[in-house]
Every structure is written in structure tokens, then in C-alpha cells.
Structure 1
Amino acid sequence: MELKEIQNLIKFVAKSGASEVKLEMDDIKITIKTGSDEPNITYMQQPMAQQAAPAPAAAPAAPAASNESAAPAASASSDDKYITVKSPIIGTFYRKPSPEKDTFVEVGDSVKVGDTLCIIEAMKLFNEIESEVSGTIVKVLIDDMSPVEFDQPLFLVDPS
């Protein structure tokens, strides 16, 4: 097999979409792999509007900033005992099945596996997001009708 034939074979495999091709002939073995073993998924989303960053604080304000950074760390450690329900897709987050209906879940509600927590609209399709854990809703992390990204935290659930 000549170099030109191998190059043509590589181009053909790349165009075909196959992830791996093995070719064994009398005196030669060729393995062509394209991409990775994991599927290549591309997500597209419009960029969020950026807020202007506040001007840097003067030196006396620095101790106050360090106290503020300690408070979120303390709340983060208290959130460690909760399970975070994350968005499986990009879209728009809705807490209600329709504008005139009640929300699916509120803070303090008990949920079990399979209960609908919210809806995420993606490309005009409304996807019900079901709970994968049983427990109590501790916090709703997203406002109704807000855009969400893949793997963005939506709810905190206390499994106990």
C-alpha cells in the first residue's frame, strides 16, 4: 500500500464519521482513529449580558472584603451535606407547568425519585426535569424564566 492510498483512506474515514477503522492486509496493519472515544457534543448559547465590574476599593476596605469572603466559605461548607440538582441541558428554566398554575416544588417540599422539579425549554421543547434523589428542597438557586447552562446548579436537596 502506497502513501497516497493511505492518505486517501484517512480522508475517507474522516469524512465518514467513523471513530475508528482497522485495516489488516498481508504485510501491513493500519488503525485510524478520529477524535476521542467520547462523543463530541457542541452546545451553543447566546452570551449573557455582562455587568460592569465595580471600581477597586481603597485600602481600608480590604479587611471588610476578607470578612465577606469568609462568610461564603462558611455557607459553602454547610451546603456540602446537600445534594445539588443540576441542569442536564441548556435552555430556559421554568418553575411552573404554565403561567396560571402553581410551582412544581417550593422550599421545604418533600420530593422522591421521579418527581418533576421544573421544566427547561430548549429549542421549543419543554423538558421535565425529574428528581434523581429523595429528600427535602432546601433552596431554589435559579429565578423563574431565567436562562440556564449545562450542569448549572438548580436546587439543593437535603437527602436526610
Structure 2
Amino acid sequence: MDIKEIQNLIKFVAKSGASEVKLEMDDIKITIRTGSDSDTTIVHQVPATQLQPQPVISAAPVAEAHAPVAAAAAPASEDSKYITIKSPIIGTFYRKPAPDKPLFVEVGQTIGEGDVLCVIEAMKLFNEIESEVSGKIVKILVDDSSPVEFDQPLFLVDPS
């Protein structure tokens, strides 16, 4: 059983609503528990020559993976006078067109409508993200070469 099959099993159990599932095969024992304060998945692989199980994987629940995204959206509500420019796609965020080129924009820089702010690489394609507003860059919310999600805040712009 490979890691993809285990991940698919975890997703299936999480969607099914079962509180605990145990799966035992020749060389693997899997226990998936859900519905408690700390959802856990434990996978034991037992080689034929060994009697004691060995832990191979311990995975966090899928719900906790969305917590950082919610935390990133909180500062945008505090700075309500600023316009938030969000990612239109999932990919990798880059502040430069190439490693040896200068940054597209920096904090404090005035931008116009249509100016390129960054590129997001998705499936080996580099997509230029253009500004839809004019103003001054107040804050850059994402580090260079970081993965970004759809609708994740990237920049705060002061339109005045």
C-alpha cells in the first residue's frame, strides 16, 4: 500500500463520518480515528521477520490544513481602508520575472491599473498578475517562491 492509497483512505473515512476504522492486511495495520479533539491516523508496517509493529506515518486531520489560510485572511479585515489584491489561481508566487531580474513591486511603490505585480507559476506556466487598481503598495502578504491558494490575499494597496 503506497502513500497515495493511504491518503485516499484517510479522505474517504473523513467524508464517511465513521469514528474509527481499522484495516489489517498482511504487512500493514492502519487505524483511522475521527471525531475527537485530536484526529489521528496511525499506520503500522509489520515485516514478516519482526513481531512488533513499527510506526510509519502519523498524519494530521485534513481540517487543520485550512487553518493557516483563515489566519492569513484576518489581517485584511483589520486594514479595511486598503484594497486586497488576491491570487486568481493556485500556484507558486514569485516577485521577480527571473532570478537575475529586479522585483516587480516593492512596499511604498505607486502602481497603476494594468501594472504587473508578480507572477504565479501553475503547471509550468508563468502567469503575470496585473493590478486592477491604482494606488500605493502598503504590504506584501506572501513570501517569494511560496505556494499560494486561489483567492489568497497577496498585496494590500492604499487607493488614495
TM-score interval, smaller chain: 0.5 to 0.7
| Residues 130/77 of structure 1: CA separation in 2 closer, same or farther (3 Å cut) | closer
Give the letter aligned to residue 145 of structure 1: S
- Larger-Rg structure: 1
Aligned to 1:141: 141
- Check the 8 A contact 2:76/2:84 in 1, yes or no: no
Aligned to 1:24: none
Question: 1:159 offset after TM fit, Å?
Answer: 0.2
Deviations 1:104-155 (A, max 9, x none): 0000000010000000000000000000000000000000000000000000
Give the letter aligned to residue 126 of structure 1: F
Question: 1:78 offset after TM fit, Å?
Answer: 4.7
Aligned to 1:79: 79
| Residues 90/134 of structure 1: CA separation in 2 closer, same or farther (3 Å cut) | same
Report the TM-score when normalising by structure 1. Answer: 0.53
Question: 1:82 offset after TM fit, Å?
Answer: 0.2
* In structure 1, C-alpha distance between the alignment counterparts of 2:104 and 2:124, rounded to whole Å: 20
| Residues 99/76 of structure 1: CA separation in 2 closer, same or farther (3 Å cut) | closer
Aligned to 1:32: none
* In structure 2, C-alpha distance between the alignment counterparts of 1:128 and 1:76, rounded to whole Å: 23
Aligned residues: 90
* In structure 2, C-alpha distance between the alignment counterparts of 1:76 and 1:119, rounded to whole Å: 21
Report the TM-score when normalising by structure 2. Answer: 0.53
Higher strand share: 2
- Check the 8 A contact 2:86/2:153 in 1, yes or no: yes
Aligned to 1:97: 97
Unaligned runs of 5+ in 2: 1-61, 66-73
CA RMSD of aligned residues (A): 2.1
| Residues 76/91 of structure 1: CA separation in 2 closer, same or farther (3 Å cut) | closer
Aligned sequence identity (%)? 76
Give the letter aligned to residue 110 of structure 1: T
